[in-house]
Each structure stands twice: as C-alpha cells, then as structure tokens.
Structure 1
Amino acid sequence: MPGTSATSASSRAGRPRPDRARRVLAVIVLTAAVVTAVLVLVLGRDTTGGGTAASTDVSTPEAQEPAHPELLALARRDAADPLALGSPDAPVVLIEYSDFQCPFCGRFARDTEPDLIRDYVDEGVLRIEWRNFPVLGTESDQAARAGWAAGRQSRFWQFHDAAYAEPRRRNAGDFSEANLIAMARKAGVEDLARFEKDMASDAAHQAVTRDSEEGYGIGVTSTPAFLINGRPVLGAQPTDVFTDIIDEEAEQARQQKDGDE
C-alpha cells in the first residue's frame, strides 16, 4: 500500500444527530500540522456537536479495536440483499461504509477487496455488506442512489467496480447523471430507463438515508470505515490488517462451533 496520505474533508451540514442509546462509539479526527491524519475509534464519545465528514487513509495500530456486540448486531445477513457478497451464514461479516467519490474507498476497492473476495468470500468464510455513506458532496449522493438502482437489477457489484475502476475527480462531473448511466451500461444494467427511474426514486433516497443514519448512529464520520464481526477498522489499511482480523474471527467461530458440537 502507498504511504500515509492527507485527509480530505468536506463539511456536512445538518447531519443526523445519533440517538444516545445507539451511540456505541465515535470517530475523532486528529489532524497534524503536516499532511497526515489519524482517526481513532473511541467508545462512548458524543459526536453530536458537529464536525466534518472525510475520506481517510489510516495506517496505525490504533485503528484496530476489539469487537463490540452492539456493532456485531448490525450485520443484516439478508440473503436477498443485492449490496452484499457472500453467504448470509458466513462466520465473518465485514460491513463497509463507503462513498463512491472517496479516493481511499477506491484504493480499498482496487487493491484489497479483490483479494478478500478471492480468498475469503469465495471460500465461504466472509460476507461483505455494503453501506452507502455519501459524505463528499452532491455527486456522492447521486452515485449512492445509482449504485442502489443498479442493485435493483442485480448489478450493484459490477457498478461498484465500474465506479471505482479509476480515481475520479470530486464533484467535477465524473458522477454526473450521464456518466452514471454510462457506468450502469458498462456494468451490464439491461433496463437503463428503469435504472434512471429507480435512481431518482424516493425508495433510493430512503435506502441511502437508512445506511447513512446507521453509520452516523454509531459515530462514523469518515470513509472508508469497516466493521469486521463488530471490530472497527478505519481507512485504507494494508490488506494484511483485514486478513489478520478475518483469520482471527474465523478461528474463533470455528472453535465456538466445535465447542457446541
């Protein structure tokens, strides 16, 4: 993985205030005078006082936290979810809060996710559940709704790959409606008229809002952010950070299963 990169941030006015009972953790953004930034996930801190939404590259051990039952319970394990990959019964679930405009989300999608799919999803060990978390502007919202619309025709992950195929400019037209339709066409979405209708629908807005509110409700303020069986991981971590945690969680699940038999 490349070295530490600068954090890019954009404010998000009027973001949902998380319910106190659901506030399990929060994200603190620590910005140094030089071009580095570190996010640390801390349980129980109040994030309702405002702040910024960011895309973040993190390569520090502080980003690895123990599992929390409340976060583990966020796995939906819905067999009909088109925004998920892998068996609903997989022993490990990785929940991914991402923004299609986030450069570090793109890095994860290109450099790490294919390895996880090959080595863990395809082997029945891992399930990946996508959550739309558009924090970087209008085109992030448009892209999130477009991804959901592609999922209505079972082409979400193909759209995901097309959207992340290369670095994109932020809010500069790369995710305009015309370009989103082109990505959908490349992803193999057959009914583009339906895609456009779904993308503009209230249902798309509600689905994206549901994911976003879930993320804000647990204190996520940056992308990418991950939960691996309830263990938070933040930013464009090296692949072995993910594989180490997945291996640990899979082994724990195996031992528990053996003990129950």
Structure 2
Amino acid sequence: MFRKIVAVLLIGGLAGCSPAPEPTGEFAVDGEALAPRARRYLLGGGQIPEDVQVTVANLAAFGSTGLHRGDLMLAKEGQSQRVSFYVTADGRWLFLNDPIDLDVDPVATSLAGISISSDDPTLGSPDAKVTIVEYSDFQCPFCARADSIVHGEVLSRYEDQVRFVYKQMPMVSLHPWAQAASEMGICVLFGAGQDAYWRFHAEVFANQRTIAPDPLAAADEIRRMAIAAGETSEALTECMASGRAAQVVADTVAEANALGINATPTFFINGRKLSGAQPPEVFAAMIDAELER
C-alpha cells in the first residue's frame, strides 16, 4: 500500500544555503499543524499516493535531546501504517523512523516483551523448538490472507516442531467490529477452551468479507459464530459484561505498542520479527534457520 519511507524532511520550505536553526527550547507546532505539512512533502516526493490521509499522534518531548517524538499515521481504505518520527523544536526538520541502538539485541528485546499465558489462543506443544507469535486483527484483510498461509501451509508442514500463538490486536479506528470479535474470541477461549476458540477463529476469518460493516449487526453475527463454536449464550453474555476479555485485549494491544508494532499482521518467530502476509517460503526460511540452531 505504501512505499517504504526513509527520509529526513525539511518541511518549513525549500532548502537553501543557510545554517540549521538553533533549538528554541519551545515547541512551535502541534500535531494538527504538522500533519498537512508532512503530507505535502511525502505526496510531493512520491512516497505516498494522493488518497492516503496523514495524521499525527503521540507527540511528546523526547528526553533532553531538544527533539519531539511522534507517529505519522498513514491511512487508506481501511489499511494503516504508523511511522515514527522526530521533529526539531521549531517544527522545521522532521526525521522519519526510529534511531537504532546498536547495543540492543532486538531478538532478546522482543522475547522479553512478549508474554504467553493461558489467556492466549495457542496451537502446538510449549516444548516445540520454534514459537511463532502473531499480532493480528480479525477485520484486517491482510491478516485473513496471512491466516490462510499460516494454517493452510506453514503449520501443516512443520506440525509438532512449531507452536503458534495468536495475539489480539484490533485496530479500532479502522475496523469497527474487530474489537468485538477479539473479545468474543477470548470469551470462547475462557468458557469452551482452545479447540472451540480455533473453530471460532476460522469461522470469523472465513466470513470476514461478508460480515456486516455496521458494528451492531456485525456483533450479532460474530456472537452466533461464538455460540456455534461451543460457547453458551449465557456464558458469552456474562463474559462480555465482566470486562475480563476486554482487559486481555487491552493488555495485548499495550504489549504490541511496547514492541513497536505499527501494522497487522506482525509475527515473531523465536523473537525474530516478520511483518505482513508473507509467502510460505519466507516463513519456511526463518523457521528452518531456527530449527538448525
């Protein structure tokens, strides 16, 4: 959807033969002012198409560097991408993407940040040599594609050598019924167990394109799927009202944010990050490498 964006942006005007401005110590622009200027640059540079909307989120001072950090939120037709940026105090210079701390082991950091518990839908043995963790959204079309790849080709190929963990990451600003699907799925897991959950999971993705776009109508459809999977109507109502499933989803979204995940689906294969609905051979290359370690 979006081209890879790697740049340093001068968004205050055309670059000239003048020294870089000294930090003023005051932040001159807010997110609403910054967003259209960043969009103008990205659009003019051919880095985004015309129909991509750009907003700014999470704008805050970044330590004592004199910079502010935030996220450019790029959205188009139900798809989204979050791009981290840093901006100078006068709002002129924008630096895209995160700095890299070469002292940090990204795999160790990922493994430390991922929690796996009985609240997570899982397949396979906890003793498997390879663990795949996916952060996903039931309403995301790329997640549906990834689901068919993982369940149709990857897990069947490796069988007991791989454990698979599914993490709920509904993008509620883009997908109006994804939150309800995640919560009901967790309720099915709590009340009827792993097998029932995976029946529900498969049914939601199989019917993703035909589920009503209206959140209330969609919730009714998804509720029927949860009951058909094995949860009782009474238990589902009680679980949804308790807020327990909502808390599990909120905790998982917070975990994903802490890991720097900005799009779904995102996978971690023994802590090694893989983004998007990649073809089976990409999964195989990473899994094989882990099995050989």
TM-score, normalised with respect to structure 1: 0.68
CA contact (8 A) 1:138 1:171 kept: no
Post-superposition Cα deviations, 1:42-70, rounded to whole Å, max 9, x if no partner, equal xxxx974453577479xxxxxxxx96111
Aligned to 1:93: 131
Unaligned runs of 5+ in 2: 3-45, 53-67, 82-104
Work out whether 1:51 is the aligned partner of 2:68: no
1:68 pairs with one of 87, 91, 107: 107
Partner of 1:118: 156
How much has 1:139 moved relative to structure 2?
1.1
- Correspondence for 2:223 among 181, 193, 199: 181
Change (3 A) 1:141 1:35: same
Deviation at 1:220, TM superposition (A): 0.8
* Contact persistence 1:82–1:156 (CA under 8 A): no
In structure 2, how many angstroms separate the alpha carbons of the residues matched to 1:237 and 1:246? Answer: 13
Q: Superposed, which structure 2 residues align to 1:1-261 within 5 Å?
A: 6=1, 32-33=48-49, 48-49=70-71, 51-52=73-74, 55=79, 68-78=107-117, 80-81=118-119, 83-120=121-158, 122-123=159-160, 125-135=161-171, 136-152=174-190, 153-154=192-193, 155-168=196-209, 172-173=213-214, 176-187=218-229, 189-252=230-293
Using structure 2 for the length normalisation, give the TM-score.
0.61
| AA at the equivalent of 1:179 | E
CA distance in 2, matches of 1:196, 1:134: 20
Give the number of equivalent residue pairs.
204
SS in 2 for 1:200: helix
CA RMSD of aligned residues (A): 2.9
Question: What's the CA shift for 1:82?
Answer: 5.2
- 2:248, 2:205 → 1: CA distance? 21
Higher relative contact order (CA 8 A, sep 6+): 1
Residues 143-191 of structure 1 deviation map (CA, whole Å, 9 limit, x = unaligned): 110111111111211111000013426871377221012111332x141
Give yes or no for contact 1:86–1:127 (8 Å, CA) kept in 2: yes
Distance 2:129 2:169 in 1: 25
Q: Which moved more, 1:106-115 or 1:203-212?
A: 106-115
Q: Secondary structure at the match of 2:261?
A: coil
Distance in 1 between residues matched to 2:69 and 2:218, nearest whole Å = 32
Is the CA contact (8 Å cut-off) linking 1:56 and 1:104 kept in structure 2?
Answer: no
Deviation at 1:77, TM superposition (A): 4.8
Once the two structures are superposed, residues 28-48 of structure 1 have per-residue CA deviations (whole angstroms, 9 ceiling, x without a partner) of: xx9543899xxxxxxxxx974
161-170 vs 136-145, greater mean Cα deviation: 161-170
| Contact persistence 1:56–1:235 (CA under 8 A) | no
Partners of 1:87 and 1:202 in 2: CA distance: 29
